[in-house]
Structure 1
Amino acid sequence: MLFSSFKNTSILLLFLFYTACRSNEPERFDFMAIGDIPYHLPEDFDRFETLIKDLNKQQPAFTIHIGDIKSGSTPCSDEYFERIHGYFQQFEHPLIYTPGDNEWTDCHRDACGNYDPEERLDKLRQLFFSESRSQGKKNMPLQTQNQFEGFEKFVENALWEAGKVSFGTIHVVGSNNNLQLGEEALNDEFYEREMANLFWLAQIFNQAKQGDHRGVVLMLHAGLNYHSQEESNGHKSFVNQLREEVMDFGKPVLLVYGDFHSFMIDKPLVDEDRKVLTNFTAVQVFGDRNMHAVKIKIDPKNPNLFEIHQHLVKGN
């Protein structure tokens, strides 16, 4: 009887020790990234539903959609936006969305319905960003830029933390980031949003440094133009500040983007001596006819912090 009691006590102590050790282990988790879908209608609606069901089975911490919820040659109607909003609510985990160019900057095209781009942007903000929370059945709270004085308009830029990693969405899009060229171009929208984006980029890195976070994940739509210093480059100021922030932070930084529809991993940022900034990695998601996802693992035991994997959906 005494031996049995001693044995049970030993087992309990071992269990408590194991549990304590497990609780001190760094947090590991996965998230999914998609974008530039659905494009080809109506057949892509079924494929999008297949993708959603597949990702729900994977049970990631969250999924991000990096923009372009439609192609550049389909109508930018309220009905379409509301349909996509409904699909976003089918995600059983949080879904975080940042706008692309096809759903507002390109809506002036005949095939898109001759809409005013800024009016369409207002509609996106009202429908998808009415609350400081993610989409999805199990939504989560987000810190959004409209909570900062002077940036009340920018409800779409979000920031959150998971596993001692800072995550942030930034509204930078393709189509030259809506920078219009020509003598008559006013570009009020571009300059206001650029100022907001530069503020938000600094905010993301500041919070990461203050919290001693292990890394930063940035999410935006545009395939950035990293090389041109011409004033005609709508990404110039953002890329220049991004370079400075990455160099100053010194820890792993991952940029998730879309725009060109091909799964790709590269290291496009270089310093003044043209040496690659090794702590910065960019990953482009699938898109267009390739309705798959990118699975990103956060592993604090990995010196690179991020593990990037293609996630192919059968039938898509």
Structure 2
Amino acid sequence: MQLLSRSLLLSCALLTLSASAAPKRDDGQRFAVIGHSFISGGEEHLKAAIAETSEKSLAFVVVAGIKGVQEGCVDKLYQQRRELIDNARRPMVVLPAASDWTECKNSAGRSNAIERLARLRELFYAEQQSLGEKKIALTRQSMSPRFRSYAENAHWEVGKVLYATINLPSNNNHYLPAAGRNSEYEDRLVANRFWLNRLFAIARSDKVEAIVLFSEGDLKPFSEPTGLRALLRRAPAGHDGFAEPRRQVLALAQKFAGKVLLVDSAGLPKGAKPGIEWRGNVGHLSVGPGALEVRVQTNGEPKFAVKDAAD
């Protein structure tokens, strides 16, 4: 009897040791993206998308754009949208869209883009944290003395993943074809070049397993020809405002051991559902105008799975 008791105790001790030594289950993380929601429905569409992304299990929500082209570029509307987003339950990271600033005009019909971008920065990007009732800390590019204006570019980490936003508006990255009118584009090109280099340096230093980069505009990462096709390609008919950041991201991704997922709010073909396309370690996801949820599994090689936030 005494031997049996000792045997039972030894078995229990071994089971306890085995359980404690087993690797902990990685339940992963989830985030949501609200694509540019102002093609139709305006503020009601945005409200519905925010409601769809209010679950406690979501680590954060990225909002791509605050207004539509047909809506006014006025402070009152900007303030209303800030309050709407700031009252959301989850941490909300706002990404500027082309319709928020690049297409704004003053009373004389002239471009008011630079002034409106400055106002957006004051209202949405002045703090080192997200909007929403629950905040997360953000590191903004404006913390660098050389790039104090570029507060909309931000990064944060969740687990083994580095997330970041970059200001690449959908209308050809706000490249203006008229000569002598591209100072904003050229200055932002320099800032974004520095930002991308910085992000990949942080990713290597922190030993993260994946980078997720959010932009409004579609970089079209798989349109860049390689090999013989690159040598034989014809010059493009017009200037591609995304060419330099696209090439830089692809070059940096080649030297990065983890995965790089590019997320934008470009529209989808009729009837198509959002999905991630992978080529090597680079993935591309266009969200479209709705709310989308992404699950990230980081136990082993990072895996990303997509579903509609409303499902």
TM-score interval, smaller chain: 0.7 to 0.9
Match of 1:273 in 2: none
Gaps of 5+ in 1: 268-275
Match of 2:154 in 1: 158
Moved more, 156-165 or 224-233: 224-233
How does 1:42-191 map onto structure 2 within 5 Å? 43-57=41-55, 59-65=57-63, 67-108=64-105, 116-183=112-179, 185-191=180-186
How does 1:18-57 map onto structure 2 within 5 Å? 18=19, 21=22, 24-26=24-26, 28-40=28-40, 43-57=41-55
- Paired with 2:211 and 2:186, the residues of 1 have a C-alpha distance of 25
**Greater Cα radius of gyration, structure 1 or 2:** 2
Q: Is the Cα–Cα contact under 8 Å of residues 258 and 285 in structure 1 kept in the other structure?
A: yes
Percent of aligned pairs sharing the same letter? 25
TM-score (norm 1): 0.82
Q: CA deviation at 1:20?
A: 6.4
The one-character-per-residue Cα deviations of 1:82-101 (angstroms, maximum 9, x if unpaired) are 11111111221211111110
Q: 1:189 to 1:218 in 2, by over 3 A?
A: same
The one-character-per-residue Cα deviations of 1:184-205 (angstroms, maximum 9, x if unpaired) are x331111111111111111111
Q: 2:249 aligned with 1:251, yes or no? A: no
Q: 1:54 to 1:311 in 2, by over 3 A?
A: closer
- Paired with 2:157 and 2:11, the residues of 1 have a C-alpha distance of 38
Gaps of 5+ in 2: 225-234
Q: CA deviation at 1:7?
A: 8.6
| SS class of match (1:296) | strand
| SS class of match (2:62) | strand
* 2:242 pairs with one of 235, 245, 257: 235
Q: CA deviation at 1:59?
A: 3.1
> What is the CA RMSD across the aligned residues, in angstroms?
3.0
- Paired with 2:67 and 2:12, the residues of 1 have a C-alpha distance of 58
Aligned AA for 1:81? Y
Q: CA deviation at 1:117?
A: 0.8
Moved more, 303-312 or 196-205: 303-312
- Paired with 1:266 and 1:298, the residues of 2 have a C-alpha distance of 12
Q: Is the Cα–Cα contact under 8 Å of residues 215 and 305 in structure 1 kept in the other structure?
A: no
Q: 1:167 to 1:54 in 2, by over 3 A?
A: same
| SS class of match (1:244) | helix
